[in-house]
Amino acid sequence: MGKRKSTAKPPPKKRMDKLDTVFSCPFCNHGTGVECRLDMKNLIGEASCRICQESFSTTINALTEPIDIYSEWIDECERVNNYEDDG
Ligand SMILES: [Zn+2]
């Protein structure tokens, strides 16, 4: 049995302090172009790209998270793309 070094590894840091509000843009593909904002007063969620100025807004509720707005936007984009492909 050899000597065991006590190399105490620090526990992995979890970064759960902040929700993700920045996403990659489906239009210009900029990795952090899109920012989501939640307007809890008017129950409007808005995602917009600071690079290409594309934006999307939808109604939200108390449980909506920024990622929900973003994925709705992506869904919307795919619907439009599919529609154009058919035409
Ligand atoms: Zn963009």
Nearest CA among 21, 27, 63 for reference residue 46? 21
Is 13 part of a structural domain of the chain? no
> How far is the centre of ligand 1, averaged over its atoms, from the C-alpha of 18 (Å)?
23
> How far is the centre of ligand 1, averaged over its atoms, from the C-alpha of 24 (Å)?
8
Residue 68: strand, helix, or coil? helix
**C-alpha span between 49 and 82 (Å, rounded):** 22
pLDDT of residue 70: 97
Nearest CA among 46, 30, 50 for reference residue 38? 46
Structural domains in the chain (count)? 1
Is 63 part of a structural domain of the chain? yes
| Host domain of residue 61 | 22-86
Q: Are 73 and 86 in contact (CB under 8 A)?
A: no
pTM exceeds 0.85, yes or no: no
Is 17 part of a structural domain of the chain? no
> How far is the centre of ligand 1, averaged over its atoms, from the C-alpha of 42 (Å)?
25
- Tell me the CA distances in angstroms from 66 to 10, 15, 36, 61, one per residue in order: 31, 17, 5, 11
Is 29 part of a structural domain of the chain? yes
Is 30 part of a structural domain of the chain? yes
pLDDT of residue 83: 81
> How far is the centre of ligand 1, averaged over its atoms, from the C-alpha of 69 (Å)?
15
pLDDT tens by residue, the chain, 87 residues: 667 777 777 766 665 556 689 999 999 999 999 999 999 999 999 999 999 999 999 999 999 999 999 999 999 999 988 887 765
> How far is the centre of ligand 1, averaged over its atoms, from the C-alpha of 52 (Å)?
4
